């Protein structure tokens, strides 16, 4: 879900700039279309974002309408918002499961839908939510699908599985998404089942009005490409077994803990058995010493080569998600 404060309201613009069109935002037809094609659409009701998100979305929408001259509010919009706001806490920390829809292109023809936890830590793990590094890794493959098209992919510390599902969607032959936490593995399997449903969206612009027409279809092939497996990085024999048929190994935000970095590097060394294999890991730099330790241990293996790309200022152009400030490396 795009943070409300960063939602691109300028999509309702009738000009080439991203300036909002107040008249279009406030017209009754737009309000009705927002309710019909977003709030009450089959996709939203089947894979609903959190009540907190919907409430904040509608609050911002209504606030913008009320800043226009001689505005009128749609009765259905007001009634739905008032009822939702009365039962939703939007001030405290968010928690609980909800669905998040990730669009891989601006037209939203290609989507990945995942069930995630809103809290950063839940059930004793951080793996039930997609972190910034996971977004960047997924965006990287969506922008460069040739890297994984026709390849066999192994995902380490998959969490909710965004990067792996994006690889499957963009043409990977197979994806093995691994994690160690039982809670995470259960969520991964749930998301694998959810991925059977892909939704296409056609955006039609007519004069100054925006109509959104969504068409849903069943696509069992994506879920068929993805396997879920438990992997303990300490189990080098299992690491070797899983990696034998693998072309590309990926991981996001798995280098943050200095106590597990040596174990991770040892596992990767065991997995990379051919010069044709490639490993892609994204990391948010929270502690530069920990990241430097990771690079040092990679160098000390004597067999793993590496290069580092700074993604801090890179705008994510594939995933429809703003680019927050974060010190990011690939």
Residue 127 zone, left/alpha/beta (φ > 0; ψ -120 to 50; rest): alpha
pLDDT digits (tens, 9 = 90+) for 154-199: 999 999 999 999 999 999 999 999 999 999 999 999 999 887 654 4
276-298 burial string, b = 16+ CB within 10 Å, else e?
ebebbbbbbbeeeebbebbbebb
119 pLDDT band (50/70/90 cuts)? confident
pLDDT, residue 110, reads 80
Whole-angstrom Cα distance, residue 173 to residue 163? 14
**DSSP symbols for 12-51:** G-SSSSS---HHHHHSHHHHHHHIIIIISSHHHHHS---H
Structure tokens at 308: 């580092």
pLDDT digits (tens, 9 = 90+) for 52-93: 989 988 998 999 889 888 889 999 999 999 999 999 888 878
What's the pTM value of the predicted model, to 2 decimals? 0.84
pLDDT digits (tens, 9 = 90+) for 213-247: 333 333 456 778 999 999 999 999 999 999 888 99
Structure tokens at 303: 């067999």
pLDDT, residue 324, reads 54
pLDDT, residue 209, reads 34
> Side-chain half-sphere of 309: how many Cα atoms within 13 Å?
11
* Parallel/antiparallel/unpaired status of strands 209-218 and 197-206: antiparallel
Query: Do the Cβ atoms of 61 and 73 come closer than 8 Å?
Result: no
pLDDT, residue 7, reads 52
């Amino acid at each position: 879900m795009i943070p409300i404060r960063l939602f691109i309201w300028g999509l309702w613009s009738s000009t080439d700039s991203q300036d909002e069109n107040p008249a279009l935002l406030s017209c009754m037809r737009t309000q009705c279309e927002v309710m019909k094609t977003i709030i009450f659409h089959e996709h939203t009701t089947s894979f609903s974002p959190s009540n907190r998100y919907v409430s904040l979305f509608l609050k911002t929408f209504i606030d913008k309408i009320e800043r226009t001259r001689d505005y009128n509010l749609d009765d259905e919009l007001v009634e739905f918002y008032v009822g939702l706001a009365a039962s939703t806490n939007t001030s405290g920390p968010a928690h609980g499961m909800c669905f998040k829809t990730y669009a891989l292109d601006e037209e939203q023809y290609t989507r990945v839908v995942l069930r995630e936890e809103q809290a950063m830590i839940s059930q004793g793990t951080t793996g039930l939510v997609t972190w910034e590094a996971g977004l960047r890794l997924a965006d990287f493959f969506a922008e460069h699908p040739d890297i994984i098209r026709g390849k066999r992919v192994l995902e380490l510390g998959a969490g909710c599985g965004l990067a792996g599902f994006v690889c499957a969607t963009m043409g990977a032959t197979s994806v093995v998404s691994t994690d160690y936490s039982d809670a995470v593995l259960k969520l991964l399997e749930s998301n694998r089942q959810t991925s059977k449903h892909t939704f296409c969206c056609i955006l039609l612009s007519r004069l100054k009005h925006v109509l959104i027409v969504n068409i849903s279809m069943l696509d069992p092939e994506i879920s068929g490409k993805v396997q879920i497996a438990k992997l303990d990085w300490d189990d080098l024999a299992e690491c070797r077994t899983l990696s034998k048929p693998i072309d590309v190994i990926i991981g996001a935000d798995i280098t943050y803990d200095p106590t597990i970095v040596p174990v991770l590097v040892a596992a990767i060394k065991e997995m990379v058995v051919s010069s044709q294999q490639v490993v892609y890991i994204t990391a948010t730099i929270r502690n530069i010493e920990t990241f430097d330790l990771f690079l040092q241990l990679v160098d000390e293996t004597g067999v793993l080569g590496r290069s580092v790309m700074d993604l801090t200022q890179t705008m994510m152009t594939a995933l429809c998600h703003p680019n927050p400030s974060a010190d990011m490396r690939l």
